[in-house]
Chains A and B, each alone.
Chain A
Amino acid sequence: MKQHILPAIKLTLLCVVIFCGAYSLLILGIAQAAPNKGEGQTITINGKIKGYALEGQSFTQDTYFNGRPSAAGYNAAGSSGSNKGPSNPDYLKEVQNRVDSFLVHNPSVQKGNIPSELVTASGSGLDPDISVEGAMVQSARIAKTRNLSEEKIKALVTQQIQKPLLGLLGTVKINVLQLNIELDKLK
């Protein structure tokens, strides 16, 4: 044991220098060439930061497309999911309440057309996306509250669809923040 303790301490110290120090600084250095110098991509409108491009933010008003329910309240400094089990009765009641509330705000929508991601909480509490159906079912409400034609809103949604990676891999989705920014530009 004695003959191993000195090498162990020395190796550990060198590892601190190499991995905490050199490796981190190397990545930090390279990241200076990444979008926004590795500090997180922001979206700026009229010189003011309106959000982080990758992170969802809370949209609860009827005039905006609403994102997914969040167990963290879209707190970007305290991400978390609900961690509710699939059979938990309180949880199922909560989902039912979200469904009822959605139907009140969107009276023209049939219950069977509500996609599940609009009534279930995301994993991070910061999910930036919803599905195409998730945006389409809200278009009648948006059209009414903004006095625009529903066709125009649906055309905007269609234009905002993000295809799967290379057209082959993964999900089809819509970024809610992007969609709402474009929505504000519609006249």
Chain B
Amino acid sequence: MNTEIFGVALMFLLTVLLAIPLGRYMGKVYSGHKTWLDGLLNPLDKLFFKAGGIKPEKEMNWKQHLVALLTINFVWFLFSMLVLMMQGSLPLNPDANPSMTADLAFNTSVSFISNTNLQHYSGESGVSYLGQLILMLFQFISAAAGMAACVVVFTAMKEKTTDKLGNFYNFFIKSLTRILLPISIVVAVILAFNGTPMTFKGKDQFISMQGDTVNVSRGPAAAMVAIKQLGTNGGGFFGANSAHPLENPSYFTNIIEDVCIILIPIAMIFTLGYIIRRKRFAWMVFGIMTIGFLLFVIPSIYLEMKGNPAITQMGIAQNLGSMEGKEVRFGSAASAYWGITTTVTSNGSVNAMHDSFTPLTGMFCLLGMMVNSFYGGVGVGFLNFYIFIIIAVFISGLMVGRTPEFMGKKIEAKEMKIAAIIALLHPFLILVGTALASYLFSHNPTAYASWLNNPGNHGFSEMLYEYTSSSANNGSGFEGLGDNTQWWNISCGIIMLLARFLPIIGPVAIAGILANKKYVPETAGTLKTDTGTFGIMIFAVIFIIAALSFFPALSLGPIAEYFGLHQ
């Protein structure tokens, strides 16, 4: 069997095998059950509770949860703006990198608190070591905030009537100390021993074999790379992200980093099964998400291994597949696999340049972000999926003439309204953003000539990708786009902000309202939500809402480019 294909198959298998026990462990952590790390980490938790003046046993209703979440995010935003706009004159800046402009700092701050990690700067020159450390902090806490919001929804799905949904700070802190921190330490150490730098020394200089003078960027990368992979963050230390040989030195580290991308998103599904005690339901969700994932990843691997038809026409051997923008040590299969894992989750780190993928692989990356819930970001991926479940329950209820019920709670007009708004928000933000940018560009192509790195359909795809990535809180890019301008910094910033917080507020509100309703025990007449039939129903809803609303835009971009290449 081809070693490249064997490599990616093993990566996926390994991830699932690790995610099942991790999900169970996370379920125990959030339920307050005993785990083997208690002895070591209880003091750390207590430190957090004491310092923050938090009583973890004090339960909150869904509104209090949201206020707590939004307040702390607002504090993070101000803090981040302050550091990024002053980093040039703050300590830990051996390479003398400048402070950020206001619009770039706005974009970067929103990008990191919203778990997006869209980067309109380049790591080597755009940010000091202090800036990197603060951005790394956001990679921890924004991921933990998303996980905490998700656990609120899990708690609300339990079979009882209550408005008490646990303590936000408790979920938040435990996500940090019990899940993200321990795994990050392990991963960072593995990376450091495999060649990723971990130092506070500045650039090094040497004379190469051919006599060129070469400057080498280094820095405290290993610590950051671990959490950027694990927390579906994706913001790399170096400009080329995980394609950079120091950020991702070998095929071995590539396996570790890629497993980390989808580890927690998959584990979260099994956490759900543990918390609400419905393993069958968790497996149904896992099944749907996995089918969706495989539908994207298999054709992408095939297409990248097959190569670029335009280069085949030149008569060049493409035994390695399409190699533009890829690294030899990963090969085209592992690059395509990464491309899909990073876009179906909201990670957004890259080990190959997505701009140079063959057209349809680019489209599958876009679709991964458009659906944004085939595993999805840590925590928020399931929140998106939850919206699709609510809609599917409602539609199937109407189809069979039964009251739509989910987990013993009636779904009524109010919940449906929220679900419909949230489901339509994502296409709205992406398509309006792309339409505005296309309008500006096509009416003044000379003034905006620096925007696009590629002409024609591919140029359109670059703009579509940027807004899709912003709205999916993904952070990867068709990096040919000249995106450090006021237009892109501000428009993407606003989209990231709306697309982060509204899709958290919506599902938490629905779950909170449902939890407060009377519990109706299941009868023979109840629609079963843990069956394959219902799974197909969810899949159809996702396909109709997420995929079809984007079809016109996709046909102007990647699909048109595909047919152009295959004339």
Contacts and interface: CB of A to CB of B under 8 A. Distances in A.
B318 A116 contact: yes
Contact of A50 (B44, B209, B321): B209
Interface residues of B, number: 121
B125 A122 contact: no
A84 B53 contact: no
A50 B125 contact: no
A81 B404 CA distance: 51
B198 A38 contact: yes
Given A38-B197, A76-B215, A131-B320, A50 B208 contact: yes
Q: How large is the interface on A (under 10, 10 to 19, 20 to 34, 35 or more residues)?
A: 35 or more
Contacts of B276: none
A186 interface: no
Interface stretch (B294-302, B309-317, B379-387): B309-317
Interface string A80-118: 111111111101100110010000000000011111110
A96 B316 CA distance: 10
Interface centre among A12, A20, A59 (most CB of B within 10 A): A20
Interface stretch (B23-31, B353-361, B484-492): B353-361
B48 A83 contact: no
A57 B209 contact: yes
B455 interface: yes
Interface string B266-296: 0000000000000000000000000000000
B126 to A, nearest CB: 11
B320 A24 contact: no
B330 interface: yes
A11 B244 contact: no
A85 B355 contact: yes
A120 B185 CA distance: 37
Contact of B137 (A20, A92, A170, A171): A20
Contact of B356 (A37, A79, A81, A119): A81
B454 A85 contact: yes
B356 A77 contact: no
Given A38-B192, A49-B206, A85-B561, A4 B71 contact: yes
Contacts, number: 379
A31 B199 contact: yes
Contact of B478 (A83, A113, A177): A83
A13 B7 CA distance: 42
A2 B4 CA distance: 55
Contacts of B3: 164, 167-172
B72 interface: yes
Contacts of B249: 54
A133 B352 CA distance: 22
Interface string B201-231: 1011011111010111110101100000000
Interface in B169-219: 169, 172-173, 176, 181, 184-185, 188-189, 192-193, 195, 197-201, 203-204, 206-210, 212, 214-218
A61 B210 contact: yes
Interface centre among B10, B172, B197 (most CB of A within 10 A): B197
Nearest to B220: A24
A38 B550 CA distance: 46
B245 interface: yes
Contacts of A68: 328
Interface stretch (A39-47, A139-147, A151-159): A39-47
Contacts of B254: 170
A42 B216 CA distance: 11
B244 A126 contact: yes
Contacts of B307: 116
Contacts of A127: 245, 327-329
Contact of B52 (A14, A54, A83, A111): A14
A148 interface: no
B218 A39 contact: yes
Interface in B312-345: 314-331, 334-335
Given A20-B137, A120-B323, A95 B314 contact: yes
Contact of B216 (A19, A20, A52): A52
Interface stretch (B235-243, B512-520, B529-537): B235-243
Contacts of B200: 28
A87 B351 CA distance: 21
A172 B122 CA distance: 31
Contacts of B48: 11, 14
Nearest to A112: B315
Contact of A117 (B209, B320, B454, B480): B320
B458 interface: yes
Given A7-B169, A61-B210, A99 B316 contact: yes
Nearest to B140: A19
6 closest A-B pairs (Cβ-Cβ)?
Answer: A123-B243, A83-B480, A85-B458, A81-B353, A170-B251, A79-B240
Interface of A: 1, 4-16, 18-20, 23-24, 26-28, 30-31, 33-35, 37-42, 48-61, 64, 68, 72, 74-89, 91-92, 95-96, 99, 111-117, 119-131, 133, 164-165, 167-173, 177, 180-181, 184
28 contacts: A11-B54, A12-B72, A14-B48, A20-B133, A24-B133, A27-B192, A31-B189, A35-B195, A42-B204, A52-B206, A54-B195, A55-B246, A76-B216, A79-B244, A82-B325, A87-B564, A95-B311, A115-B316, A117-B320, A117-B328, A120-B324, A121-B324, A122-B328, A133-B319, A165-B7, A165-B250, A168-B3, A170-B329
Given A58-B208, A81-B324, A86-B356, 19 more contacts: A19-B137, A34-B193, A34-B198, A35-B195, A38-B192, A55-B245, A82-B324, A83-B479, A86-B308, A86-B458, A87-B457, A116-B307, A116-B317, A120-B322, A122-B326, A133-B317, A169-B251, A170-B329, A171-B320
